[in-house]
Structure 1
Amino acid sequence: MTELTTHFLSIDIGGTYIKHALINRSGQIIFVKKEETPKNIEEFKSCLTGILDQYKGQVKAVAVSCPGKIDSKEGVVYHGGALVYLHQFHLKEFIESYMNLRCAIMNDGKSAALAELWLGQLKDIENGGVMTLGTGIGGGLVLNKALHSGSHFQAGELSFMLLSTNVPISLETVAGAKGSAVNFIRQASSLLNLDNPLDGKKVFEELEKKNELIYPLFEEFCRNVVIVIMNVQSVVDLQRIAIGGGISAQPILVEEIKQQYQQLLASAPVLETMLTPVEIVPCHFKNEAGLLGALYHLLEELEEN
């Protein structure tokens, strides 16, 4: 038995890459590797076993962060987000039978919340939340210092929040579309006539210059995010919300969200009077959030048993 058997394998399944890391019990990442995410279930199984083979005999257990609606008790993936081929895949059972080790899986948005609860912006917070801005709006709620999964493992699925009273409902009006960072970058890239329709780096360079072609669009995007925050706050009364996703690495994002939040409160004094403002901060963890949050969930399960 080597020293590495005191460590854990954590896997973060994303739409583009599958990241895997060796991490100790304190959350220190020893190293991280990544593979391209396969396009179908058979290739996915082959990729996954290839990853697992690299750690056989070296780890105590396996943690997984995965998109989709996750039954974390049974370890089953439903829908799989962009990876629709994972629908109804018994991921936990697959890994446990292959490795003969304990495995725990958690939704990616909730993993981000757990990472912040463990070692980040929600560490000393009683009631808080994480909003991850990407293709849609993912997230997780921490209530009474514990992750709130809900009755059907779907608490914090903010993409499905309705932002319009019109019927029939248009998917363009739900929070996942209105607060989509990908949609915003695509629209801004088009306005700037960029060759790359998802050139986030160039878009934010222009935002820093207050480019009038795209800044109103940015303000609208941030205002949409704020409306989601206000709706969440009216229901669960949080102390702090941490903003995550790749776009959150840009300081101007949280600055503008805060600005739009203050403008919204000022426009309706009754809201400012009746609802205690929530603190809005950037997430502490970026690309490693899923890896750490999944491990925290695994450690909790191991302690319970």
Structure 2
Amino acid sequence: MTQYLVYDVGGTNLKYALMDNGGYIITKGKVASPDNLPAFKQALFDIADQFTDEFEAIAMCAPGKIDTKEKTIYYGGALTYLDGFNLVENLGDRYQVQVSVENDGKAAALAEQWLGKLKGVDTGAMMTLGTGVGGGIIANGKLLHGRDFQAGELSWMLLRASEGVEKVSSYTAILCSAVQMIKRVNESLGNDQLDDGLAAFTAINKWQPEAYDIFSEFCANIAQMILNVQTVINGEKIVIGGGISAQPILIEEINYQFEKLLGSNEMLGGQIIPPDIVAARFQNDANLYGALYALLLQIDSE
């Protein structure tokens, strides 16, 4: 059985798994993400050394702009020390195996394309709602990277130009941020635990006005983002990911707001065919599956 070592690099945790080529997770774990490059490298080595001679290639996904051809991470999101980190030099050469690396948002899209809600979809998109908006666009059955590997970075979609393009609050990074929405709901409830998603959705599911109004506005912003993407790709399906996608009320409200948006303009409603808007299949392990699938596609192409 062919096995692969897969890393999912996040701002909080460094997750890892030993997986086979069918997507079965043999074993997995996580450690806290280090705050500096030497410690990060050592964490990678400590994990890989546990599985000496058990893996035939290494896959990784990480935040930032990812040069999938040169296997280099740029910017690195919250982990700014990853800027310029090259997988061949740091892992491939050390363990004498093939390596691949993909952006975390695009990895989530690949997971859904491989084994989830985008399977068999020719054109569609994945939108992961978290601190910002991770994304991946599938066009003609393939993940879209763009000229500089920047395609699908939906956090920088401008929704409120009239409020000032210099303000980050005019972009989807804030307007479609699940973290910001939950924070606002808890503030409205007087809850000191601003990151308490359970409390926020308890109020939302009870239709408490102060909570639901914020939630409704959030879903309307997502509907606008979907509309903007849909005008470009004319996709069959939009998959919503992130922890809050497990809440059925989220998908219901986004669909309602999208229909409301199309109904607000006769010409718009007549020309834009609504895509299926659905919750993602994968949650916490999405990036592991997607990173592995990126590696498998790379191996197949070679």
What TM-score do you get using the length of structure 2 for normalisation? 0.97
Which runs of 5 or more residues in structure 1 are unaligned? none
Give, as a single letter, the amino acid of the residue that structure 2 aligns with 1:20.
Y
What SS does structure 2 have at the residue aligned with 1:19? strand
Q: Secondary structure at the match of 1:20?
A: strand
In the alignment, is residue 284 of structure 1 matched against residue 281 of structure 2? yes
- Equivalent residue for 2:209? 212
Write the distance in 1 (CA, Å) between the matches of 2:247 and 2:34. 29
- 1:97-246 equivalence runs, <5 A: 97-166=93-162, 167-246=164-243
SS in 2 for 1:59: coil
Distance across 2 between alignment mates of 1:91 and 1:299: 16
Note if contact 2:87-2:99 (Cα within 8 Å) is conserved in structure 1: no
Give distance in 2, aligned partners of 1:178 and 1:13: 25
Would you say the 8 A contact 1:223–1:260 is kept in 2?
A: yes
The list of structure 1 runs, each at least 4 consecutive aligned residues, that deviate by more than 4 angstroms after superposition, is none
User: Which residue of 19, 22, 43 maps to 1:23?
Assistant: 19
In 2: Cα distance, 1:32 partner to 1:276 partner: 41
What is the deviation of 1:169? 2.4
For 2:49, the equivalent position in structure 1 comes to: 53
Alignment correspondent of 1:253: 250
Question: Secondary structure of 2:102's match?
Answer: strand
1:216 Cα shift? Answer: 0.4
- Which residues of 2 match residues 38-117 of structure 1 at below 5 A? 38-117=34-113
Q: Secondary structure at the match of 2:56?
A: strand
Q: Contact (CA 8 Å) 1:15, 1:83: kept in 2 or not?
A: yes
SS state of the match for residue 258, structure 1? Answer: helix
- 1:58-101 CA-to-partner distances (Å, cap 9, x unmatched) read 01111101110000110111111111111111134211022111
The answer to whether the 8 A contact 1:66-1:108 is kept is yes
> 1:6-58 CA deviation, whole Å, 9 max, x = no partner?
21111111111111111111111122211111111121111111111112210
Q: Which residue of 2 aligns with 1:273?
A: 270
For the 8 Å contact 2:161–2:170, the answer to whether it is kept is no
Seen in structure 2, the aligned counterparts of structure 1 residues 196 and 264 have a Cα distance that, compared at 3 Å, is same
Structure 2: any 5+ residue segments left out of the alignment? none
- Specify the code of the residue in structure 1 equivalent to 2:67: D
- Asked if residue 302 in structure 1 is aligned to residue 290 in structure 2, the reply is no
Q: CA deviation at 1:168?
A: 4.7
Contact 2:87 2:100 in 1 (8 A): no
Q: Deviations over 1:243-270 (max 9, x none)?
A: 0011111111111111111111111121
Whether contact under 8 Å (1:127, 1:142) holds in the other structure is: yes
* Structure-2 change in CA distance of 1:213 and 1:84 (3 Å): same
Contact 1:254 1:280 in 2 (8 A): yes
Question: What are the superposed Cα offsets for residues 204-261 of structure 1, whole Å, 9 maximum, x if unpaired?
Answer: 1111111111100000001001100000000111000100011111111111111111
What is the identity percentage for the equivalent residue pairs of Structure 1 and Structure 2?
A: 44
Distance in 2 between residues matched to 1:120 and 1:170, nearest whole Å: 36
Does the Cα contact within 8 Å between 1:92 and 1:105 map onto a contact in 2?
Answer: no
